Each structure stands twice: as structure tokens, then as C-alpha cells.
A and B are shown apart, each in its own frame.
Chain A
Amino acid sequence: MATKPKIAFFDFTSCEGCQLTVIDLLQTHLGLLDLVEIVQFREAMSEKDEDYQIAFVEGSCTRKGDEARLLQIREQASMVVALGACAHLGGINALKNRWAIENVQTYVYGKNGKDAYESYPARPISAVIKVDAVIPGCPIDRYEFLRVVQLILQGRKPRLPDYPLCVECKLKENACLNTLGKPCLGPITRAGCNAICPTYGDGCEGCRGWHPEANFTYMREILRGHGLSDAEIDARFTMFNHYQFQHMGDEAPITTPISPAKDEPLPTSTFAAPKEA
């Protein structure tokens, strides 16, 4: 048998929940360690080797320093896989892009926090480097991770489902939440998680991104039918996909502001900010 492929895990701005999901997968699939050699996984191990072929990258790019690290990973790895919504879409991190960076710095760290805590608008890693494959979701689905690794080891290219979540939900014989009056983004969201949220009675939040034929106009009609305001619908659309809508510009099917307004004043509230020295 040929030598085991060396794989490495990297984390940028994220909760590290996707890497934890990989650790959870090992609970039932410890044999995975016989097929690959993990050479870097800072959250779980001290050993470190810069010689790797496959890089799994979790987290968004949110500061200048991240770019150099990403470029270095791209330089070394023959395959870069975006792990989870933060790396794939920008995800939750991009919610802060609604405001200018000074605004969020001031709100969280006070007026002295502005210079001390470097950050810029959150971006998916594909905005900085070429990405060869994506494992979507917040967090990733452990079995999808397993499938992708199997495909990569077989030398095949992983492909994402291009149909809506509803397909998987129907196959599970779930009652449709939208028909029960509970808002669900399943009709516009890319399948692949086996409809886990609707299965647990909660509407899909779109963490896997949209499928190619997503009809936002009709989705909005359905949600209005549940009595949701446009502002509330926008909040649902943007929860994991703020970055995508922001980059659609005027085409974005969003009715409320999602980008910083000119001359927006800095927050004066001290609700979250620490006491000034």
C-alpha cells in the first residue's frame, strides 16, 4: 500500500466546532486513523509537521494576518478543503459586516478597543485562496466529512448536492414545517445535512448556503404568509449568508440595510464595553 496521505487541520476565526465534530466522528470511526496520517491538529495535538498534502481549513478570514497563513497553506497543500460555514460562506462571523469595523470594536471593547483589536470584515477563505472542495454546514455533518474523505482517498472529486433540503426532508417523511406555520428555509437551502434541523422541529437556517435555483422571492412570500415582517425575513436570510447577500449588491433580495451606512455614528452604549481605566 502506498504511503498514507498526510492531512492537516487549520483554524481561523471560528468556534472550532467543525474540528470537534471530526473528533466526535473518531468515536465511531477510529479506523480512519489507519488510512490517513494527521500531521497537524492544534486543538487536539502538540505534534506538528509542515509536510502535508490535504489541508482542512475551518474559520473565516477576518484580519490581514490570516491572509499570509492561508497563502502558506495553499502553497503547501495539493488540496484545500473549506470546513464548515465560516470557511465556506463567512457564516455567522459575517454578521458583524453590517457595521463598520470601528463600530463593532467600540461596542465590544469601548473607545480604547478600536486600535487594540485588529479585525476587518469577515470573508470566506475562497475570497483569499483557491478552494478545491467544501464541506458545508454549521457545524459540518460528520458523515458528509467521512464521505468527502473517502472520495478524496479514492482520487475522486467531492461534489455538493445541487437540490434543496426539502428533498432530504421528504425522504425522512418529516411533516413540512412551512405547512405547519413554522418558518423554514429548506426550499432555498442546499441539501446534504439530512435535514437535521427540521427533523428536530426547528426550521432550516440556511447554514449550508443556497442551492443553485433558490427562489428568494417565493421564499419571502411563504415567510410573509407566516406573519413575519420583512426585517425578520431578512434576519433569517442573512444569519449564515450575510457575506453572500452583501456581495450581490443591489441584486440582493434584502429589504433592510446589511452594509455599513455612510457616517453611521459610533455606538455610545457601554452595555458590552469594559470600564475605562
Chain B
Amino acid sequence: MTENIKVNVHHVTRVEGHGNIVVDVRGGTIEKCELQIVESPRFFEAMLRGRPYHQASHITSRICGICACGHATASLRATERALKVKLSEQTIRLRKLVFHGEMLDSHILHVYMLVAPDFLGVGSVIPLAKTHPEVVKRALRMKQFAGDLCATFAGRHTHPIAMTVGGFTQYPSMTRVEELRERAEAMIADVDATVELFGTLPWPNFERETEYVALVQPDEYGFIDGMIASSDGYTLPVEQYRSVTNERLVPHSTAKHTAFNRDSYMVGALARFNLKHEQLHPRAKAAAEHLGLRAPCYNPFLNSAAQVVEIVHCVDDTIRLLDETLTRGITWEAPAPVTLSPGARGVGACDVPRGTLFHEYQIGEDGLIEEANCIIPTGQNLGNIDRDMRALVPKILTEPEDQIRLKMEMLVRAYDPCISCSTHFLNVEFVGK
């Protein structure tokens, strides 16, 4: 048993944003084990004060290049709930399609380009292009479909243009929708190959039961709006998000930590899978079975497997929504009207790729934002990552140094942390053993 270990990964790679992993074991006792967030703070909530409400979704999409559509959607929902906007069935459906595009883009980027290199023994997707060209080409083809899905309805994925308060500023031609539908059909073979590939990967064997939190909807495995649900048996309206997130400052992170019924909780694909796997499309359920994913699953490394399951689900749901759009056609609707009133407040909640995202605004009668709050999924996962790290380290202390470092990085990466979002975040370096 190794008595003294110091791991210091400075600026963890293949994650979005900057963080460090620090592990300090002395005499077999963990002195320090944490994920330090060193991303520079950005202060979006403060920036929004005094800005016109219609700018909020375009400003906050700039929180994150990966989940730009998610931020825009949560922002729009907050504004729309504050300003009593009633959305049409078409707007809700087209927003779901944009959201699926982003879920696919983000999950494909994460499982293929950020996670898979660890299992295939390479430093990145770039050597992977030489050793496994068919894998990389498939990933890029799938990602391109995802990006084009966003672009068809919102103009682009990073940062969406046509989504606005109350609806859309532009609609695609039916020809473009038809073309997407054909390409979605062609995606199925790539989706099957993805499930096959990730079914062969040796996920590290590690379990730590925790509280899982996600948004739930009565009639679907959805991502926008709904109620906040916890695996500890609570269901709350999104307006009560503060009693779930309970944000607090911790010294080693520019991201705030959160806690609900325990000292930490987990959000993201695995939390969603644990809470609402029964609502998955049949092919996604079969994929979970193939990947060895059974609810409740307490292995955080399998968050990546849950993402693969969601890729299957989102492709099938995209096909469903595109079919509906082709049947009903697209009506050129003007955005639904807003009602301004003094001190109007609204909460927008979405389950973005990395977990539940909350935006809350207070908007004045003049249409200017008075108060703003954004609570980011990675921020909610940080406390749980620290606790997973503390539980994992004693189990792997006898392994060689490079294996310890790799597993710690893989654990952090499994959460798919999005650090520039949450700095409100990651980096591991061995400082000698």
C-alpha cells in the first residue's frame, strides 16, 4: 500500500473549461482530495442587470459554446414565464428539435472525442483518426447531423439565432425538413454502431450511491420544463429550485457548490436515466440493456453509457418530431406577445446535456432585467465529484501512479464537466510520490 501520494493534474484536458485535480495522501490518510475550479469567473448574472429582456437569451447562450441552445432555451423559458407568454404547440415542438440537436452534438462530442480516447489508449481524437478512422468518421458524421438539426431551426448550434422570446424569427423550408428526415433515418445505422462500440468498453468498476436529481415530465423522457424530481422521493415545481440547489461558496472553486437532501447530489444523463428510464424510446431501452446499464445505477463512470442511451433516444424522438412536423406543415407564426408588469419574476428550467439548468429573472415594467440568477449543472455536480474522488482514491492507491492519475481524470471526465459554464471549474498533476 502506498503511504504517500500527491496527485496534481493542472488543467485537466478534454473537458470544457479549466480545472485541477488535487489529491494528497499522507501515511495512507487522505489529506486533500478535490477538484479545483480555476476558470476565470465571468459574472453573467451581474451583466444581465439593466439589459432589455430580449437580449437575455443571446447574452446567456454565450455562457457555453457546447450548450448554447440549452442556455438560450432556459433563458427564454424564464423570460416567458415572467412575461406570461403562451407558446404555440409548434414553438414547443420546434424547440424540442433544436434541443435534441444539441443533446446529440454534446453527447457525441463527449463519448467519442473526450471519453473514448481513454479506453482506446490514445491522448486524443487526433491519433484516433489514424488508428480508428472509421470511428472518427462516424462520430463526425453524427455530429454534423446534430449541428445541422440545430442550424435548420435555429440558424446555428453555437450560438442559436432564430429562437426568440415567444417563438422563432425564421422557419425552414419543408424541403430542408424532408432532407433532415432522410438523414435521420441514415443515422440509425451509426447509432447502432455506437451502441455496439461502447458495449465493448471496460467501464471502471466503482459504485457510490448518491442522490440523483432531474426534471421529469408526465408524458415523455423530455428535457424542457417539468418538475424537479429527486431519487430520495421529492418532487418540486421549478419555482422552488433554490430549495434544491442551496448554493454555497467553497474555497477551492470559482464554481459554487450545491446540496439538496444530502451533502451533494448528481445531475446529468445518469440521473435522468435513474429517474425516468421507463419513458425511454424502446430502442434506447434495448441499448441500455446492451450496455449493462440497469436502474438504479450507482457507477458514475456509466454516466457516459447513459449518454449513449440518450443518443439513441434523441435520434428516435427526433424522427418522431420531424414526422409530426412533416404531417402538420410549418405555419409562419409571429412570436407570441409579452405582458410587462412591475417586478415580474420567472424561472426557466431545462435538462441540458450535463444536467438541470436553472435561469431566473426579474423584469421591470420597462422591459429591463432587474435581477438574474443562473444555476449550472456542473456547479451542481462538483460536490458529488469531490465525494466520488474521495471514495475512489483508497480503492486505487496500490495501482501505479499513471493509472491513479488516469482513473481520476476519467472520473472527472465521466461527469462531462462544463467548466466555463459553471464558473463559475478542472486540472491533475503528480507532485512526486
Give chain A residues whose Cβ lies under 8 Å from the Cβ of B62.
Answer: 15, 17, 91-92, 138
CB-contact partner of A108 in B11, B43, B129, under 8 A: B43
Check B46 against A45 for contact (C-beta < 8 Å). Answer: no
CB-contact partner of A46 in B14, B256, B367, under 8 A: B14
* Total residues of chain B contacting the partner, CB 8 A: 74
Query: Within 8 Å of chain B (Cβ to Cβ): is A189?
Result: no
Give chain A residues whose Cβ lies under 8 Å from the Cβ of B154.
Answer: 200
Query: Within 8 Å of chain A (Cβ to Cβ): is B51?
Result: yes
- Give the secondary structure class of B's interface: mixed
Give chain A residues whose Cβ lies under 8 Å from the Cβ of B256.
Answer: 109, 274
Check A15 against B68 for contact (C-beta < 8 Å). Answer: yes
Q: Which one of A46, A110, A118, A239 has the greatest number of beta carbons of chain B within 10 Å?
A: A46
Of A25-33, A147-155, A210-218, the stretch lying at the interface with chain B is A25-33
Query: Within 8 Å of chain B (Cβ to Cβ): is A72?
Result: no
User: Within the assembled complex, what's the spacing in Å between the Cα atoms of A202 and B368?
Assistant: 20
Closest-CB distance, B397 to chain A (whole angstroms): 23
User: Within the assembled complex, what's the spacing in Å between the Cα atoms of A116 and B46?
Assistant: 17
Query: Within 8 Å of chain B (Cβ to Cβ): is A104?
Result: yes
Query: Within 8 Å of chain A (Cβ to Cβ): is B90?
Result: no
Closest-CB distance, A102 to chain B (whole angstroms): 11
Give chain B residues whose Cβ lies under 8 Å from the Cβ of A232.
Answer: 52, 367
Residue of chain A at shortest CB distance from B172: A200
User: Within the assembled complex, what's the spacing in Å between the Cα atoms of A19 and B16?
Assistant: 10
Give chain B residues whose Cβ lies under 8 Å from the Cβ of A95.
Answer: 47, 51, 59
Contact with B along A142-179 (1 / 0, CB 8 A): 00000000000000000000000000000000000000
Closest-CB distance, B28 to chain A (whole angstroms): 29
* Total residues of chain A contacting the partner, CB 8 A: 70
Check B125 against A119 for contact (C-beta < 8 Å). Answer: no
Check A272 against B46 for contact (C-beta < 8 Å). Answer: yes
Give chain B residues whose Cβ lies under 8 Å from the Cβ of A45.
Answer: 13-14, 123-126
User: Within the assembled complex, what's the spacing in Å between the Cα atoms of A46 and B125?
Assistant: 10
Check A16 against B371 for contact (C-beta < 8 Å). Answer: no
Check B46 against A139 for contact (C-beta < 8 Å). Answer: no
CB-contact partner of B249 in A24, A63, A109, under 8 A: A109
Check B17 against A108 for contact (C-beta < 8 Å). Answer: no
Check B14 against A15 for contact (C-beta < 8 Å). Answer: no
Check B371 against A205 for contact (C-beta < 8 Å). Answer: no
Contact with A along B260-287 (1 / 0, CB 8 A): 0000000000000000000000000000
Check A201 against B254 for contact (C-beta < 8 Å). Answer: no
Closest-CB distance, B248 to chain A (whole angstroms): 5
Of A36-44, A125-133, A219-227, the stretch lying at the interface with chain B is A36-44
Q: Which one of B47, B136, B254, B371 has the greatest number of beta carbons of chain A within 10 Å?
A: B47
Residue of chain A at shortest CB distance from B409: A46
Give chain A residues whose Cβ lies under 8 Å from the Cβ of B126.
Answer: 33, 38, 44-45, 47
CB-contact partner of A274 in B11, B51, B162, B248, under 8 A: B248
Query: Within 8 Å of chain B (Cβ to Cβ): is A99?
Result: yes
Check A239 against B46 for contact (C-beta < 8 Å). Answer: no
Give chain A residues whose Cβ lies under 8 Å from the Cβ of B170.
Answer: 199-202
Check B43 against A277 for contact (C-beta < 8 Å). Answer: no
Query: Within 8 Å of chain B (Cβ to Cβ): is A18?
Result: yes
Check A46 against B43 for contact (C-beta < 8 Å). Answer: no
Check B49 against A92 for contact (C-beta < 8 Å). Answer: no
Give chain B residues whose Cβ lies under 8 Å from the Cβ of A91.
Answer: 62
Q: Which of A63-121 contact B (CB under 8 A)?
A: 63, 66, 91-93, 95-96, 98-99, 103-105, 107-110, 112-113, 116-119
Query: Within 8 Å of chain A (Cβ to Cβ): is B377?
Result: no
Query: Within 8 Å of chain A (Cβ to Cβ): is B247?
Result: yes
Residue of chain A at shortest CB distance from B345: A271
Check B46 against A21 for contact (C-beta < 8 Å). Answer: no
Residue of chain A at shortest CB distance from B242: A275
Give chain B residues whose Cβ lies under 8 Å from the Cβ of A255.
Answer: none
Q: Which of B20-70 contact A (CB under 8 A)?
A: 40-47, 49-52, 55, 58-59, 62-66, 68
Check A202 against B161 for contact (C-beta < 8 Å). Answer: yes
Check B43 against A105 for contact (C-beta < 8 Å). Answer: yes
Query: Within 8 Å of chain A (Cβ to Cβ): is B235?
Result: no
Check A119 against B43 for contact (C-beta < 8 Å). Answer: yes
Contact with A along B199-236 (1 / 0, CB 8 A): 00000000000000000000000000000000000000
Q: Which of B236-267 contact A (CB under 8 A)?
A: 246-249, 251, 254, 256
14 contacts between A and B (CB under 8 A): A13-B42, A23-B113, A42-B13, A42-B14, A46-B13, A66-B40, A105-B41, A108-B46, A108-B424, A196-B156, A196-B161, A200-B162, A201-B161, A232-B367
Of all A-B residue pairs in the complex, the 3 with the closest CB atoms, nearest first, are A17-B65, A45-B124, A201-B169
Besides A46-B14, A99-B46, A201-B162, 10 other CB < 8 A contacts?
A15-B62, A15-B68, A15-B158, A17-B62, A26-B140, A42-B11, A104-B46, A108-B45, A196-B161, A274-B247
> Which A residues lie at the B interface, using CB under 8 A?
11-21, 23-24, 26-28, 30, 33, 38, 41-48, 62-63, 66, 91-93, 95-96, 98-99, 103-105, 107-110, 112-113, 116-119, 138-139, 196-197, 199-202, 205, 231-232, 235-236, 239, 269, 271-272, 274-275, 277
> Which B residues lie at the A interface, using CB under 8 A?
11, 13-18, 40-47, 49-52, 55, 58-59, 62-66, 68, 109, 113-114, 117, 123-126, 129, 136-137, 140-141, 143-144, 147, 154-159, 161-162, 164, 168-170, 246-249, 251, 254, 256, 360, 362, 367-368, 371-374, 420-421, 424
